[in-house]
Amino acid sequence: MSLLSKEQLNILTYDSFISDWGPGPNIQKSFESRCSCTINWITADSSGALLSRVKLSKNKEGIDILMGLDDSLMSEAKETNLFETHSINSSTLSNLNISWNDEIFLPFDYGFFSFIYNSFNLSNPPTSFDQLAQRNDISIIIMDPRTSTPGLGLAKWIYQLKGDSSNEFWKSLQDQIVITAKSWSDGYGLFLEGEADIVLSYTTSPAYHAIAEGDETYKAMIFEEGHAEQIEVLAILKNSQNKQLADQFMQFSISSGFQNFIPNGNWMYPVIDEVEGIESFYRYAPKPSNLDRIFGSTSDRTTWIKSWSSSIE
Amino acid sequence: MAQHLIELLGLNLGLAVLSNVKNKLTVFFLKLPYLLYLIIILILVCFIFSYFLKDKPNVIVFDRFFFNSLKFTFIQAILSTLISIIIGFLIGICLYLSRIKIKLISVVLNFFFIAPVIFVSYGVIFIHGSNGLIQSFLNKVGINFSYSIFGFVGILYVTSYFNISLSANYFFRKLINIPENYLKLLQANNVSFYQALKYYLRPIFQNNIIVLCSIVLIFCISNFTIIYIFANSPFLSTLELVIYQKISFEANIYAAIVYGLIQAFIVILLLSPLLKISNNFQMLSLKKTENYKIYKSNLLSTSFLIIMSIYFFSPCLMIFKGLSSFNLDLLISYNAIKSFLSSLSVATISLLLSLLISLSSLYFARKLFEDNSRFKKLMLFSIFILCFVPAISLSSIIFMINIKLDFYFNNFWIVSIINSCLLIPIIFLFLLPKFMDNNIYEKSKILQFGINPLIRIFKIDLIKFKKDLILISSACFVLSMGDLTSVTIFNSSEFKTVPFFISQLYSSYRYDDAFFIMSIYVIFIISLLYIVSLMVHRDATLR
């Protein structure tokens, strides 16, 4: 290696993170100005596909960091034994409301699942799942839990609230579900095209419409029983060639240099409080009450999916 | 004198040997790309078997979702094929009777066949969606009628869109290739068009109809994006989609390969007629630029053509929707230009690779047919085998091989190789009729005059199918530009294609921008096809 050549940090993430409008380009600039290194982004088409990629290749691609894994996949990821423990003190994640003590995964943003509606078309939204199931006038777009993390999040959310009676609850929703999209982007796109009254997304989605498009008509339904959460995490791969640099990036991921770009780039909540311009974001994306956090195992995931698949025709 | 004669004989013998060696070398180099392709196929097959032998397979579940997907894959494919063939037949007849220029029909039908699936799908939603143009119109005039385009109906509607145009193209070309003398004979005997269809033209359509059905069925079985968008229930899923789920979300390559093999096995059983094309190779070749007309359109055929034009052209209104969100900054942004250039490069390399292998395969196939070799069907099978394997399974197998090779090939080359693998059967099938045209007569002349195989290709074959070659190359170029299957697995920040860029916009809430880029992309495709069509029809040297 010549003296002038910079070290390269290979980060695997989902594609929207590094798009021109995602947080990736700004985070890259910010980190590269501090590390005298270059970031090489490698992408998969969805959050769910990230883990599969490193599992299939046993990380022969030389990826240093995997970023964007859904918390419901953490236990499965740990079973692969492909991830390294980190040395970051994560108890300072003030905005996460809990003391994070996982030794492998570090959270970098989070969100709450919710149904989004256009207040121009729907003036009296339901305030609970039971009310929603009774409103036959409301058509719903959800995502397939087998191919989409929000879809899996909804299955978890319903199971968490309804337990063994979740099958019956799914059945009561069935007639209202007009589309089961394979991915969040397809489902949300069809909602914007007017294909249904509400769509499964995040409580932060209205912030995008209000801040980026100046459209304040989109709102998130707030359910009194509480909302399930999705935490996105990152971790270092065991066979990383740049562990020191990877560690430096992990530390950077919970600093304002990274977190400043999360609300208006990834449209999720940052994990720390000290973030620039966060007030307007919270105005359009207030945090709902959250349910107890569940970091489901592989068998939990199977149970959640089964409760959906055995009820829907 | 005797010594001089011996020297002369020796020289002649030497020249003959030299010419023989030269011919053999030429034949070897002509066969080489096909042989390399064959090696790749063998590597793929060996890899599949070694994978099962060496590693412990993950659990492969044959649950009700699998059986449901298997059932649905074939039900939707068979129904779509039937719809496509029947409506395509009617459109082919109506187009033949109409006064529309062959050139225009050719460009339009080609475009409908290779139009990006995502564009047509959203175009259909734009028209038929709950908030679409039709529903808005009905609401405006106070008619209380609503319907949903999602689900099985939508899947059939959009899947048929592409395949109707392929079948219509087939039947239309069959009709315009009817010899003028034959038509004059029908005219002299006052045979009506209906009678001609029923009694005299039927054999012309029947010839190779099985091949057409097979091709359409393959396209319908490999349905992915349409199901992805239109399925409104977990049970409306094809095997391609299940395989995608197994690879992308469960990292279960074993299940992906096993499911892929099951699909391939059933398809091979269903499509064994495809291997019987040795008797007649006339399929999609276009011989005429204008046809001799004795039959004219009537009210029924014109009305049907108008209805079908609405069906075909209405999704294209999406272009106006996209252009209404014109965004110059986005269009000239670094990533938009880079993705466009990446798409062009991938399409160029894929096309060159597939052309090279297809031409070599065609040469080899013709030789086997001329020699009446018993390996001729095996050779055809080696070409069509890639049609039977689901594209996603193929991509994942190549991904796994590249892992074993320590990522020797970068993403660009992997995507180009996969695309070219998928294009080879299409080019082969399209050019085969012209390649085999008159081959028995040619063979005797070539032996008689001792013509070098290379000269036969460049001076005889190429002139024969130059026009078809340009047409199929442009279509394959567009198909390769629009491919997303392999790009979803193989991409990095340095390598993005236009469809990938659109998908990125899509997952970043930027739907209007995505539709805008999609519209620009479709305009580019239409322009490209139109320019190629002008080239083909203006150049008098192109027969």
3-state secondary structure B383-429: HHHHHHCCHHHHHHHHHHHHHHCCCCCCHHHHHHHHHHHHHHHHHHH
Per-residue model confidence (pLDDT) at position B541: 46
Question: Across the interface, do A208 and B509 touch by the CB < 8 Å criterion?
Answer: yes
Residue A312 distance to chain B (closest CA, Å): 8
As a whole number, mean pLDDT of residues B122-135 equals: 89
Rounded to whole angstroms, the Cα distance separating B98 from B291 reads 11
As a whole number, mean pLDDT of residues A114-129 equals: 94
Token pair for B142: 């106070």
pLDDT-based confidence at B215, cuts 50/70/90?
A: confident
Amino acid (one-letter) located at A56: L
Question: Across the interface, do B232 and A46 touch by the CB < 8 Å criterion?
Answer: no
Residue B286 scores a pLDDT above 60: no
Amino acid (one-letter) located at B372: N
| Location of each CATH 1.10.3720.10 domain in chain B | 23-55+327-543, 73-238+277-324
Which stretches within A80-148 are classed as H helix?
129-134
Rounded to whole angstroms, the Cα distance separating B464 from A265 reads 57
Does A295 touch chain B if contact means CB atoms closer than 8 Å?
A: no
Question: Across the interface, do B130 and A49 touch by the CB < 8 Å criterion?
Answer: no
- Average pLDDT along chain A: 89
Question: Across the interface, do B148 and A178 touch by the CB < 8 Å criterion?
Answer: yes
Per-residue model confidence (pLDDT) at position B44: 85
Per-residue model confidence (pLDDT) at position B414: 83
pLDDT one-digit tens code per residue, A193-205 = 888 999 999 999 9
pLDDT one-digit tens code per residue, B254-264 = 888 888 888 88
Question: Across the interface, do B228 and A182 touch by the CB < 8 Å criterion?
Answer: yes
Rounded to whole angstroms, the Cα distance separating B36 from B420 reads 13
Show the 3-state SS of B438-497: CHHHHHHHHHHHCCCHHHHHHHHHHHHHHHHHHHHHHHHHHHHHHCCHHHHHCCECCECC
Gyration radius from chain B CA atoms: 26
Contacts of B255 in chain A (CB under 8 A): none
pLDDT one-digit tens code per residue, B374-395 = 888 888 888 888 878 777 778 8
Rounded to whole angstroms, the Cα distance separating B133 from B317 reads 10
List the single range of A92-96, A172-176, B175-179, B224-228 with lowest mean pLDDT. A92-96
Report ipTM for this prediction: 0.84
**Domains in chain A, ordered, with CATH?**
7-110+230-284 (3.40.190.10), 111-228+289-309 (3.40.190.10)
Per-residue model confidence (pLDDT) at position A122: 92
As a whole number, mean pLDDT of residues B315-340 equals: 91
Pairing of strands A140-143, A198-202: parallel
Rounded to whole angstroms, the Cα distance separating B503 from A16 reads 9
Per-residue model confidence (pLDDT) at position B307: 94
Bigger pLDDT: B306 vs B437: B306
Residue B441 distance to chain A (closest CA, Å): 54
pLDDT one-digit tens code per residue, B69-127 = 999 999 999 999 999 999 999 999 999 889 888 888 888 998 899 888 888 998 999 89
Q: What is the DSSP letter of A138?
A: -
Which stretches within B314-390 are classed as H helix?
318-323, 328-331, 334-370, 376-388
Per-residue model confidence (pLDDT) at position B281: 45
Let me know: does B493 contact B306? Beta carbons within 8 Å: no
Per-residue model confidence (pLDDT) at position B13: 63
Let me know: does B244 contact B213? Beta carbons within 8 Å: no
Q: For residue B276, give the 3-state DSSP assignment.
A: helix
Does A122 touch chain B if contact means CB atoms closer than 8 Å?
A: no
Bigger pLDDT: B308 vs B214: B308
Number of CB atoms found within 10 A of residue B485's CB: 22
Which of B119, B232, B504 should be substituted to probe chain A, the one whose Cβ sees the most A Cβ atoms within 10 Å?
B504
Question: Across the interface, do B228 and A49 touch by the CB < 8 Å criterion?
Answer: no
Token pair for B49: 């078997």
Rounded to whole angstroms, the Cα distance separating B484 from B501 reads 10
Closest residue on chain B to A197 (Cα): B130
Q: What percent of chain B has pLDDT over 70?
A: 87
List the single range of A41-55, B352-366, B448-462 with lowest mean pLDDT. B448-462
Rounded to whole angstroms, the Cα distance separating B455 from B460 reads 7
Question: How many CB contacts within 8 angstroms connect chain A with chain B?
Answer: 127
Let me know: does B173 contact B467? Beta carbons within 8 Å: no
Residue A251 distance to chain B (closest CA, Å): 23
Question: Across the interface, do B251 and A51 touch by the CB < 8 Å criterion?
Answer: yes
Per-residue model confidence (pLDDT) at position A2: 47
Contacts of A66 in chain B (CB under 8 A): none
Let me know: does B72 contact B235? Beta carbons within 8 Å: yes
Phi/psi of residue B524, each to 5°?
A: -60, -45
Residue B475 distance to chain A (closest CA, Å): 27
Give the start-end residues of each E strand in B5-106.
none
Per-residue model confidence (pLDDT) at position A171: 92
List the single range of A2-11, B189-198, B297-306 with lowest mean pLDDT. A2-11
Rounded to whole angstroms, the Cα distance separating B517 from B406 reads 35
Residue the block writes with tokens 């026009």: B467
Question: Across the interface, do B233 and A190 touch by the CB < 8 Å criterion?
Answer: no
Contacts of B509 in chain A (CB under 8 A): 188, 205, 208-209, 212, 267
Per-residue model confidence (pLDDT) at position B12: 66
Cα separation values, A262 from B65, B261, B341, Å: 38, 44, 30
Per-residue model confidence (pLDDT) at position B319: 92
Rounded to whole angstroms, the Cα distance separating A42 from B496 reads 11
Bigger pLDDT: B199 vs A128: A128
Which among B233, B399, B508 has CB closest to A19?
B508
Let me know: does A288 contact A227? Beta carbons within 8 Å: yes
Let me know: does A269 contact A138? Beta carbons within 8 Å: no
Rounded to whole angstroms, the Cα distance separating B111 from B525 reads 8
Residue A172 distance to chain B (closest CA, Å): 15
Residue B234 scores a pLDDT above 80: no
Contacts of A20 in chain B (CB under 8 A): 333, 335
Per-residue model confidence (pLDDT) at position B292: 63
B73-238+277-324 CATH pick, 3.40.190.10, 3.40.50.2000, 3.30.9.10, 1.10.3720.10: 1.10.3720.10
Question: Across the interface, do B234 and A190 touch by the CB < 8 Å criterion?
Answer: no
Amino acid (one-letter) located at A277: G
Residue B324 distance to chain A (closest CA, Å): 15
Rounded to whole angstroms, the Cα distance separating B135 from B127 reads 8
Contacts of B506 in chain A (CB under 8 A): 185-186, 189
Per-residue model confidence (pLDDT) at position B11: 62
Bigger pLDDT: A310 vs A216: A216
Question: Across the interface, do A312 and B233 touch by the CB < 8 Å criterion?
Answer: yes
Token pair for A238: 């065991």
Token pair for A213: 């498009």
Token pair for B11: 């020289």
Per-residue model confidence (pLDDT) at position B381: 84
pLDDT one-digit tens code per residue, A254-308 = 999 999 999 999 999 999 887 887 888 999 999 998 877 777 777 888 899 989 9
Per-residue model confidence (pLDDT) at position A107: 93
Residue A130 scores a pLDDT above 60: yes
pLDDT-based confidence at B271, cuts 50/70/90?
A: confident
As a whole number, mean pLDDT of residues B516-527 equals: 92
Which among A52, A184, A190 has CB closest to B251?
A52
Which stretches within B150-279 are classed as H helix?
152-176, 180-188, 193-195, 202-206, 209-221, 225-230, 239-250, 253-270
Per-residue model confidence (pLDDT) at position A1: 45
Question: Across the interface, do A189 and B491 touch by the CB < 8 Å criterion?
Answer: no
Which among A61, A139, A185 has CB closest to B506?
A185
Number of CB atoms found within 10 A of residue A298's CB: 12
pLDDT-based confidence at B489, cuts 50/70/90?
A: low
pLDDT-based confidence at B146, cuts 50/70/90?
A: confident
Specify the CATH class of B23-55+327-543 in words: mainly alpha
Q: What percent of chain A has pLDDT over 90?
A: 57
Question: Across the interface, do A40 and B492 touch by the CB < 8 Å criterion?
Answer: yes
As a whole number, mean pLDDT of residues A95-123 equals: 89
Question: Across the interface, do A178 and B228 touch by the CB < 8 Å criterion?
Answer: no
Let me know: does A265 contact A301? Beta carbons within 8 Å: no
Per-residue model confidence (pLDDT) at position B4: 67
pLDDT-based confidence at A191, cuts 50/70/90?
A: very high
Per-residue model confidence (pLDDT) at position B54: 65
Question: Across the interface, do B491 and A183 touch by the CB < 8 Å criterion?
Answer: no
- Average pLDDT along chain B: 82
Q: For residue B238, give the 3-state DSSP assignment.
A: coil
Residue A3 scores a pLDDT above 60: no
pLDDT-based confidence at B57, cuts 50/70/90?
A: low
Q: How many helices (H) and strands (E) does chain B have?
A: 26, 0
Per-residue model confidence (pLDDT) at position B277: 53
Residue B274 scores a pLDDT above 70: no
Per-residue model confidence (pLDDT) at position B495: 74
As a whole number, mean pLDDT of residues B196-222 equals: 81
pLDDT-based confidence at B408, cuts 50/70/90?
A: confident
Q: What percent of chain B has pLDDT over 90?
A: 23
Listed as own residue / partner, the contacts of A97-105 with beta carbons closer than 8 Å and 24 or more positions apart are: A97/A290, A98/A293, A102/A74, A102/A233, A104/A74, A104/A77, A104/A78, A104/A235, A105/A69, A105/A71, A105/A74, A105/A77, A105/A233, A105/A234, A105/A235
Rounded to whole angstroms, the Cα distance separating B353 from B492 reads 23
Percentages of chain B per state (helix, strand, coil), in multiples of 5: 80, 0, 20
Let me know: does B305 contact B100? Beta carbons within 8 Å: no
Which among B249, B399, B407 has CB closest to A146?
B249
Residue B14 scores a pLDDT above 70: no
Residue A13 scores a pLDDT above 60: yes
Residues 204 through 223 of chain A touching chain B, CB cutoff 8 Å: 205, 208-209, 212
Residue B434 scores a pLDDT above 70: yes
Listed as own residue / partner, the contacts of B512-517 with beta carbons closer than 8 Å and 24 or more positions apart are: B512/B325, B513/B325, B513/B327, B513/B330, B514/A189, B515/B122, B515/B318, B515/B321, B515/B322, B515/B325, B516/B322, B516/B323, B516/B325, B516/B326, B516/B327, B516/B330, B516/B331, B517/B322, B517/B330, B517/B331, B517/B336
pLDDT-based confidence at B490, cuts 50/70/90?
A: low
Which among B229, B232, B503 has CB closest to A45?
B503
Q: What percent of chain A has pLDDT over 70?
A: 97
